[in-house]
């Protein structure tokens, strides 16, 4: 799509990210997977190249904001290691973007700049044992005591939770109203007494990432650590959902791209009945369908990113992109494994890893079902129905 949908500058940036992914991530991607290693130095190295700063202002260490460059980073790193990019995104997007949008200048210097520079790792803490898509059941409470808050509660499925230095935590500050109207967000420093990592989950995929269950017991949070105003937390956590979903869609394009390329090459090399299996329409037509879905996912993602970049509302487009791209990634990995046959079910090829990794993102960042709800809601709204 060079020269048609991306500018020359964006293509040069892509080349830079791709070179980093191939030189710095690819050589250790299988070790990260097999040993379940979290490689913090990769996040630090990405920061040196500006890959954590695509959505943030230069005054705080960023190179943006540029949602298009963010989707470039997401696709290129994820095409090599989904787990590495999920760790990056959790810090530089999920945690950092709300701080960037709602934090004061002083808060951004303290809580954003070290993240963008790769000096610290961030995590965003919303999901709880009884809270997923619907926050109405949120149990975490932050009780005000003069100029401080006492934070109590549990969070689970928190990416980077056990390795983060700074955590953006959502908690109810006014239990007398719906959490949408009575929630606040705070930055909690990981060395604060009362904060506990209960465990890291042993996952089906995304090995090398850290997804944790966390507990907060009478954690004292200074008032100056509140991001946004008291009881404004719902606006803080949802303001950048379009950005988050578009970024995850870009990752999914990366998840799809590698299995697709592996399958296409394998179909040209694998010989059955005296000819490459690409000669059979059962294989070549499947490759054609995979290529079409992949290109459509990339274009949907780019459209959402361009809209966000221009300050346009992209709720429908971001939901469409994430829904379609994550479905495409999982289906593409599954089709690729089928083309490879028995060898695809082994670890000699990366396809089985991408199949496992891609399955998570039909859940995280907004489930497929929630995204379809958002799309239909926006369709009816646009039609005035």
- Long-range CB contacts (within 8 A, 24+) of 340-348: 340/262, 340/263, 340/266, 340/270
Measure CA of the first residue to CA of the last residue in the chain; give whole Å: 37
Active-site annotation holds for 244? yes
Buried b (16+ CB within 10 A) or exposed e, 5-44: ebeeebeebbebbbebbeebbeebbeebbeebebbeebbe
Phi then psi for residue 143, to 5 deg, are -100, 125
Candidate list 128, 154, 240, 244, residue with the active-site label: 244
Q: How far is CA 182 from the centre of its chain?
A: 26
CA 27 to chain centre: 22
119-163: pLDDT as tens digits: 999 999 999 988 877 777 899 999 999 899 999 999 999 999 999
**Mean pLDDT by groups of 10 residues along the chain of 385 residues:** 82 97 97 96 96 97 95 98 97 97 97 98 94 81 94 97 98 92 96 97 96 98 97 91 95 98 97 95 97 98 96 95 98 98 96 97 92 96 96
For residue 123, what pLDDT is reported? Answer: 98
Helix (H, G, I), strand (E, B) or coil at 159: strand
What predicted TM-score, i.e. pTM, was given to this entire model? 0.94
Structural domains of the chain, ranges and CATH numbers in brackets: 8-116 (1.10.540.10), 122-231 (2.40.110.10), 240-382 (1.20.140.10)
CB 101 within 8 A of CB 111: no
pLDDT of residue 18: 98
Contact 123, 160 (CB under 8 A): yes
């Amino acid at each position: 799509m060079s020269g048609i949908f991306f500018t020359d500058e964006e293509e040069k940036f892509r080349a830079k990210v791709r070179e980093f992914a191939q030189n710095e991530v690819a050589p250790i991607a299988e070790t990260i997977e097999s040993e379940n290693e979290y490689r913090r130095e990769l996040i630090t190295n990405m920061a040196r190249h500006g890959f954590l700063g695509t959505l943030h202002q230069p005054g705080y260490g960023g190179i943006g904001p540029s949602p298009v460059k963010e989707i470039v980073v997401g696709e290129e790193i994820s095409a090599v290691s989904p787990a590495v990019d999920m760790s990056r995104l959790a810090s530089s997007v999920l945690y950092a973007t709300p701080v960037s949008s709602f934090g004061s200048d002083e808060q951004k210097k303290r809580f954003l700049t070290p993240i963008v520079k790769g000096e610290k790792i961030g995590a965003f803490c919303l999901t709880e044992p009884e809270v997923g898509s619907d926050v109405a059941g949120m149990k975490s409470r932050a009780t005000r005591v003069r100029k401080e808050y006492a934070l109590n509660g549990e969070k689970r499925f928190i990416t980077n939770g056990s390795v983060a230095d700074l955590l953006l935590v959502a908690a109810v500050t006014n239990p007398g109203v719906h959490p949408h109207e009575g929630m606040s967000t705070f930055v909690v420093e990981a060395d604060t007494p009362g904060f506990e990592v209960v465990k890291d989950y042993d996952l089906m995929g995304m090995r090398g990432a850290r997804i944790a269950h966390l507990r907060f017991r009478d954690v004292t949070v200074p008032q100056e650590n509140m991001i946004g105003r008291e009881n404004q937390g719902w606006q803080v956590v949802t303001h950048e959902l379009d950005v988050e979903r578009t970024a995850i869609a870009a990752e999914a394009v990366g998840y799809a791209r590698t299995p697709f390329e592996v399958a296409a090459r394998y179909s040209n090399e694998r010989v059955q009945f005296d000819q490459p299996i690409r000669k059979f329409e059962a294989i070549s037509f499947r490759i054609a369908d995979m290529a079409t879905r992949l290109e459509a996912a990339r274009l949907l993602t780019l459209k959402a990113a361009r809209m966000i970049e221009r300050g346009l509302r992209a709720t429908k487009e971001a939901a469409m992109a994430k829904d379609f791209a994550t479905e495409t990634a999982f289906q593409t990995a599954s089709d690729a494994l089928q083309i490879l046959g028995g060898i695809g079910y082994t670890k000699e090829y990366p396809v089985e890893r991408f199949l496992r990794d891609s399955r998570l993102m039909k859940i995280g960042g907004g489930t497929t079902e929630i995204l379809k709800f958002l799309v239909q809601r926006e369709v009816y709204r646009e039609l005035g129905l």
